[in-house]
């Protein structure tokens, strides 16, 4: 009788503490900028993409330079000039998208850096003129990212 009670209690605790299925399938997302305006969004393991998707919205276009670094590191985690293959134009401006498959070393560089870092710095420059420079905290994000490995 006591064994059944202990077993039932353990099962109830496990169910209560385990994340729901909907939470387990949610992508880990992080945004730098204004959600209704200019921004750069990071999405790890979003629907349809097994890996990292970086999307710029209303900031960045072909020829613009996207740079990302963590904390006060001298070396950039990512720095690249966006191309016409990366960017498309729509009614609400340019939208650029970069995808790093989960099997790529770049994906794992981002995961490791985002887990260990405290602040991500995201910068977009076009013809040496600043379009956006934002710092975003990684504090709460690391927990979301922790279950993705």
Please give the Cα distance from 17 to 34 (Å, whole number): 33
- With contact defined as beta carbons under 8 Å apart, do 56 and 95 qualify? yes
Q: What is the mean pLDDT of the chain?
A: 80
Domain ranges of the chain: 25-146
Q: What number of helices (H) and strands (E) belong to the chain?
A: 4, 9
List all residues 6 or more positions away from 97 whose beta carbon is below 8 Å from its beta carbon: 53, 54, 55, 56, 86, 87, 88
**What band does 145 get if pLDDT is binned at 50, 70 and 90?**
confident
In the numeric block, which tokens belong to residue 90?
């729509």
Per-residue pLDDT at 80 exceeds 50: yes
SS3 103: coil
- With contact defined as beta carbons under 8 Å apart, do 124 and 64 qualify? yes
Which position has the higher pLDDT, 76 or 146?
76
- 14: enclosing H helix or E strand: helix 2-17
Q: Looking at domain 25-146, does it have CATH number 2.60.40?
A: yes
Interval 41-79: pLDDT, tens: 999 987 777 899 999 998 888 899 999 999 988 889 999
Per-residue pLDDT, averaged over 14-31, amounts to 55
């Amino acid at each position: 009788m006591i064994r059944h009670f202990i077993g039932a209690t353990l099962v109830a605790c496990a169910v209560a503490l385990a994340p729901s299925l909907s939470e387990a399938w949610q992508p880990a997302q992080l945004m730098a900028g204004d959600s209704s305006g200019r921004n750069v969004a990071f999405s790890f393991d979003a629907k349809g993409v097994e890996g990292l998707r970086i999307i710029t919205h209303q900031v960045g276009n072909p020829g613009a330079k996207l740079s990302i670094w963590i904390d006060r590191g001298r070396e950039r985690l990512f720095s690249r000039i966006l191309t016409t293959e990366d960017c498309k134009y729509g009614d609400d401006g340019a939208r650029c998208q970069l995808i790093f498959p989960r099997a790529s070393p770049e994906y794992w560089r981002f995961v490791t850096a985002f887990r260990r870092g405290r602040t991500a710095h995201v910068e977009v420059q076009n013809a040496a003129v600043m379009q956006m420079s934002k710092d975003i905290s990684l504090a709460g994000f690391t927990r979301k990212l922790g279950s993705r490995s």
